[in-house]
Chains A and B, each alone.
Chain A
Amino acid sequence: MRRSNSRSELAFRLGIGAFGFLIVAIVCTIGIVLAVQSMASIRKFGLSFWLTRTWDPVAGEFGALPFIWGTLYSSVIALLLATPIALGIAVFISELCPQPLRQPLVFLTELLAAIPSIVYGLWGIFVLVPAVRTVERSLPELLRGTPLFSGPPLGLGLLSAALVLAVMVVPFISSVSREVLKSVPTAQREAAYALGATRFEAIRTALSYARTGIIGAIMLGFGRALGETMAVTMVIGNNPRISLSLVAPQYTMAAVIANEFTEAADELYLSALVEIGLVLFIITLLVNSLSRLLIWSMNRTSRVVTAPEPVHASA
């Protein structure tokens, strides 16, 4: 009896362990395949692939810098826009919302995450871009002179992309933050009130208690923004030029792969596109590792609610 029990226990452990190992194997395989397929480009350009700005399929010169810049810039701006809104939603739903409103609001924010990205792209082209163009046209001359807003007001460009991304990542950040806030022990809030804290101060205590979890939520949104492809390529203008301007058309890594992969016929071109994929893979890994590191160091200094895993959710 006992023996068969320990045998099934072992089988169970091995089986579950295999599934766990599968994840590691998949990630490693993706990395290896990307590296092997981009070998021609890695050999030819080496480190300069990361640092040069020319993307010329005719001459066979490939540099990823404008795409790296466009990806990071649009994602960071999107997070700057989305984080306050998402936190506002999370705090409202978990702390202030009247009970009957709570479930509908939760449902609606989560519905935002379920909309396919191509739909966001179409909405971007037909609604957002014309609106952004109108705003850009009415910018005062003084602002247009600054590097942040220089260039013709096309509507298409980094700002539109960042706005679409912001709408797309809000549900991720707000849902996870809401769960984290919910897990803050009631004792914390009661203690704050007992010390004479106002409602705002009590919420601030809860937020500070949950801060690593919230950082995890933001990183989850960042991962999502980095990999988003379709909606971004439809509104960003697809021009590989590095520019600080929010008005200028730019390009992202995921977008260039989606746009050029099907027609890339020669070997170096194809391998350069795969290397863009490798670069995106590495940057996503780095971002996620850095966020783990940040959360880990915060956890060490203070005992707080543990953060959810930041996962890269691809489009």
Chain B
Amino acid sequence: MVSSASRTLSTIVACAAALACSVSADAIKINGAGATFPYPIYSKWFAEYNKVHPDVEINYQSIGSGGGIRQIQAQTVFFGASDGPMTPEQLQASPGRILHFPTVLGAVVPVYNIPNVRTELKFTGPVLADIFLGKITKWNDAAIAKLNPGVTLPATDITVAHRADGSGTTYIWVDFLSKVSPEWKSKVGINTSVNWPTGVGGRGNEGVAGLVSQTPGAIGYVELIYALQNKISYGTVQNMAGEFTKASVESVTLAAASAATQMPPDFRVSITNAPGKGVYPISSFTWLLLYESPKNKAQAKAMVDFVKWALTDGQKYCADLGYAPLPESVVKLEMAALAKIKLS
């Protein structure tokens, strides 16, 4: 009885081992995990890349930026992905040197629902900060009216809608508010979730968009892709040059180009409120995280080749999926940085 059970077991183990060998023999498998925001383009990239290079299989789990950082620190995945750069403490706590590589750009837009107002509203950073701090509570507040002459704003109460789940979108939004409002910076600060002074929390972009569309007088923020795909109207935001710009693929790429002139060598840079003309101020990179000296050299070589492809040929898939492509200048800097990864 016992011997027959153990025989069955050993047969199963042998089969499983044989199966595992046969798979790993002909393909390089790379596992990654992290941010949900770039997941649509990453999965597109991995699928397209696999068509050109059938010997490389990249598997990505969109478990969130925080999860991605934890997994790469624990070395359970080969690469991580994050919507916010790792903090110096997190880099310190990692077992090896981790490099950041921007892949695409995203933007966050203010969406609102004001009864009987159909025109596109203009916002400035300080006004948005005061609304989200709970200091501006009515739509006909003088601060909003001054920016939007000719628009009849009702005396409706403002309901702030924000993300309840931790997210890179929130990170970009509050990073911008911190730059334009000293009060936001000291009272609330920057993180993927914050202690909101006011408002209600919805889960995911769809949760916030649902809240805003259902609640008269609501204002919230969603990713540009989400607003575009769901045809939600959104406001313009004043940039450093004083222009009210609308988020678009072009104005977001411009923000990155303007930041590229002062790009730090490790690419850990926030490009919210970037200077320059035509720039949309609530924009951000999203990053891939790689070890400078990976243990598995075969995987490292395949991954570096993939990143090179993604930064050049891969960028053409951006626009269709609502992301903004990287400007040439940033791609050039990254190509040089990729050479630093130790492949032997």
Contacts and interface: CB of A to CB of B under 8 A. Distances in A.
Contact of B215 (A54, A58, A155): A155
Contacts of B210: 125
A234 interface: yes
Interface in B46-90: 63-67, 69-70, 86-87, 89-90
Interface stretch (A13-21, A41-49, A263-271, A293-301): A263-271
B205 interface: no
Contacts of A234: 203, 207
Contacts of B65: 263, 265
Nearest to A56: B195
A262 B166 contact: yes
Given A233-B164, A263-B67, A154 B200 contact: yes
Contacts of B90: 265-266
Contacts of B67: 262-263
B interface: dominant SS: loop
Contact of B66 (A156, A255, A264): A264
B190 A58 contact: yes
Q: What range describes how many residues of A lie at the interface? A: 20 to 34
A255 B165 CA distance: 9
B194 A152 contact: no
B113 interface: no
B201 A237 contact: yes
Identify the interface centre among B65, B67, B190, B192: most chain A CB within 10 Å of its CB.
Answer: B192
Contact of B214 (A129, A238, A264): A129
A223 interface: no
B164 A259 contact: yes
A152 B199 contact: no
Interface in A214-263: 233-234, 237-239, 249, 251, 255, 258-263
A239 B87 CA distance: 27
A263 B192 contact: yes
B108 to A, nearest CB: 15
A191 to B, nearest CB: 55
Nearest to B201: A238
A255 B159 CA distance: 21
Nearest to A259: B165
Interface string A125-143: 1000110010000000000
A155 B214 contact: yes
B35 to A, nearest CB: 9
Nearest to A255: B164
B215 A238 contact: no
A59 B189 contact: yes
Contacts of B286: none
Interface string B314-342: 00000000000000000000000000000
A57 to B, nearest CB: 5
A251 B67 CA distance: 23
Contact of A156 (B89, B192, B200): B200
A260 B67 CA distance: 11
Contacts of A264: 66, 166, 192-193
4 closest A-B pairs by CB = A263-B166, A262-B64, A238-B201, A238-B164
Given A156-B200, A239-B199, A263-B192, 17 more contacts: A56-B194, A57-B191, A58-B190, A58-B191, A130-B214, A152-B157, A154-B200, A237-B201, A238-B164, A238-B201, A239-B201, A255-B164, A259-B203, A260-B193, A261-B166, A262-B166, A263-B66
25 contacts: A54-B195, A57-B193, A57-B194, A58-B188, A58-B191, A58-B195, A59-B195, A125-B210, A154-B159, A156-B211, A237-B200, A237-B201, A238-B164, A238-B202, A258-B165, A259-B193, A259-B201, A260-B165, A262-B67, A262-B165, A263-B192, A264-B166, A265-B70, A266-B87, A270-B70
